[in-house]
Structure 1
Amino acid sequence: MNYLKNTRQLLLACAALVSFSSQAAESLSVAATAVPHAEILEFIKPALAKDGVELNIKVFTDYVQPNVQVAEKRLDANFFQHQPYLDEFNKGRGTALVAVAGVHVEPFGAYSSKVKSLTELPEGASVVIPNDATNGGRALLLLQKAGLITLKDAGNILSTPKDIASNPKSIKVRELEAATLPRVLGQVDLALINTNYALEAKLNPTQDALLIEGSDSPYVNILVARPDNKDAPAMQKLAKALNSPEVKAFILEKYQGAVVPAF
């Protein structure tokens, strides 16, 4: 009888231990671009582990697969994009991904290896911008702000090169995949590059950009998940960690204004 009682108690204890272990070791797989997103996630990884969340970071070089794989439940979340891009992706792909938390702004910049100021741009200068709708529109708005072009609708964030109304210097605007822009910098007169790709290419936005958005940019980079897991305890722990004072200090110290906290 004592043997059965002891066995039962042992089984109950093992069950409790398994239950505790499963609760204490939740895991999240998160897609991110390398800089600064994956670096920020790596920074909070130890703190999350202490809070019972194992963070698995998957680095991507494009802006499509991170959303596709979260939507298809191959990954839990992603951290690489801003809300206008997510809205356009959901609309175009029929997905329903949602923002969980805003983290930082990456002021968008224009770079050149051929001229030292925008006034030196020659007639018919070759200019490349991202080929996705929101970042392409964002680039055109920045060119408009600099006086290089005007757009038919001055405030349309989804403007395309076809929406250029005036072009005094007859600049030639081409659209290329965002990740390739740093690689063609030496072949063009001006490239408008997302800060994450600029940083990967060892460009310093606050020093090297001839033109850059202000810190009031509306393009806040967000943690993104699905409606079915956005409120999960592990996801909320991740969101809280990304909005912590420690992350704010890390961003300010490491990126020196090239990345700006949004909280």
Structure 2
Amino acid sequence: MNKRNFLITAALSAALCFFGTANAAETLKIGASPVPHADILKVVQPELAKKGIDLKIIEFSDYVQPNLALSDKDLDANFFQHLPYLEAFSKDHRLNLVSAGAVHIEPMGVYSKKVKNLTDLKKGASVAIPNDPTNGGRALQVLAAAGLIKMKDGVGVNGTPLDITDNPKRIRIVEVEAATLPRALDDLDAAVINSNYALGAKLNPTKDAIAIEAKDSPYANVVAVRAGDENKPAIKELMSSLHSPEVKKFIGDKYNGAVVPAF
């Protein structure tokens, strides 16, 4: 090869190398609960791939590790929690995490293998709620809305069993890790379960729940990121895809009211 051809070949190789690097897909790692979060994310994977974003979905089965992994930069985002939980967890663990946007609402439901109606619960019945503060307070509000108990005015999401002001059936509130509630149903009279865990256990919130949270619930599930990352182009593309008509249709068709779009 003469010097001129060598230089041309070298220049072409450099150009191809630059072009390949410039067009390489950007990897976006997001932690998610398997149902419905990971299912929803899989809907937007092909569209994001067309935009040069390789969406990697890492599934988690608990409510703690996804935020810790995000803070430690093992993830670029996560999608499993509602805003009150994100804010409470970030404050308690001194993490600088924020919402990049809301996607859907999962109405919390009351389930039982022993009764068909909350009014059929016997005195002293055991009713389980999630043991994390925001979901526990939310579950108590579901029980209050159903008329089973009354809560102290104004406690809202921060309510605890100590804030129950009226409990005519003297039900026993049992605090259990949210992910294990479906498996604990055999040992309980009833349990208030997050819809993602209910769906994962083949419970249908619209058919199997004996009471369910109103669909105007403020507990929209959000995509969480480290503060400042919400304006990154890849995150903005992710949120744009999650807020698409295709995702809204998927949620409606797939979950039939058990999961409700928040956009």
- TM-score interval, normalised by the smaller of the two chains: over 0.9
Q: Is the 8 A contact 1:32 1:80 kept in 2?
A: yes
Deviations 1:174-199 (A, max 9, x none): 10100000001111111000000000
Cα offsets for 1:70-126 (capped at 9, x unmatched): 000011110000100001001100001010011000001000000011110000010
For residue 74 of structure 2, what is the aligned residue in structure 1? 74
For residues 129-154 of structure 1, the C-alpha deviation after alignment (integer angstroms, 9 at most, x for no partner) is 00000000000111111111111235
Give the aligned residue type for 1:21.
N
Counterpart CA distance in 1 for 2:90 and 2:101 is 17
Q: 159-168 or 145-154, which moves further after superposition?
A: 145-154
1:162 Cα shift?
1.2
Q: In the aligned structure 1, how far is the partner of 2:47 from the partner of 2:13? A: 32
Gaps of 5+ in 2: none
Name the CA distance, whole Å, in 2 between partners of 1:190 and 1:117: 10
Are 1:141 and 1:155, in contact at CA under 8 Å, matched by a contact in 2? no
Secondary structure in structure 1 of the residue aligned to 2:23: helix
- d(CA) in 1 for partners of 2:17 and 2:202? 52
Given the two structures, how large is their TM-score scaled by the length of structure 2? Answer: 0.96
d(CA) in 1 for partners of 2:228, 2:35: 28
1:137–1:158 Cα contact (<8 Å) kept = yes
The answer to whether the Cα contact below 8 Å between 2:23 and 2:52 also exists between their aligned partners in 1 is: no
Partner letter of residue 213 of structure 2?
E
- What is the 5 A alignment of 1:216-231? 216-231=216-231
Counterpart check, 1:212 vs 2:212: yes
- SS of the aligned residue for 1:191 comes to strand
Q: Which residue matches 1:111?
A: 111
Q: How does 1:27-42 map to 2 (within 5 A)?
A: 27-42=27-42
Structure 1, unaligned runs of 5 or more: none
Are the equivalent residues in 1 in contact too, given 2:144–2:150 (CA < 8 A)?
A: yes
**CA apart distance, 1:8:** 4.9
Per the TM alignment, residue 230 of structure 1 is displaced from its structure 2 partner at its CA by 2.0
- Distance in 1 (alpha carbons) for counterparts of 2:228 and 2:31: 17
Alpha carbons 1:61, 1:179 under 8 Å: kept: yes
Give the partner amino acid of 1:231: N
Residue 5 of structure 2 corresponds to 3
Kindly provide the amino acid, as one letter, of the partner of residue 17 in structure 1: F
Aligned length: 261
Q: How does 1:154-193 map to 2 (within 5 A)?
A: 154-193=154-193
Worse overlay, 46-55 or 78-87: 46-55
Identity of aligned residues (%): 53
Aligned positions of 1:42-81 closer than 5 A: 42-81=42-81
- Compute the displacement of 1:2 (Å): 2.4
User: How far, CA to CA, are the matches of 1:190 and 1:5 in structure 2?
Assistant: 77
Question: Alpha-carbon deviation of 1:7?
Answer: 3.9
Q: Is 1:100–1:222's contact at 8 Å kept on the other side of the alignment? A: yes
2:248 is aligned with 1:248:
yes
Question: Offset of 1:15 from its aligned partner?
Answer: 3.7
CA distance in 1, matches of 2:185, 2:5: 76
**Cα distance in 2 between the residues matched to 1:46 and 1:192:** 35
Aligned 1:84-99 pairs, distance under 5 A: 84-99=84-99
CA contact (8 A) 1:107 1:214 kept: yes
Task: Using structure 1 for the length normalisation, give the TM-score.
Answer: 0.96
After the TM superposition, which segments of 4 or more aligned residues of structure 1 sit over 6 Å from their partners?
A: none
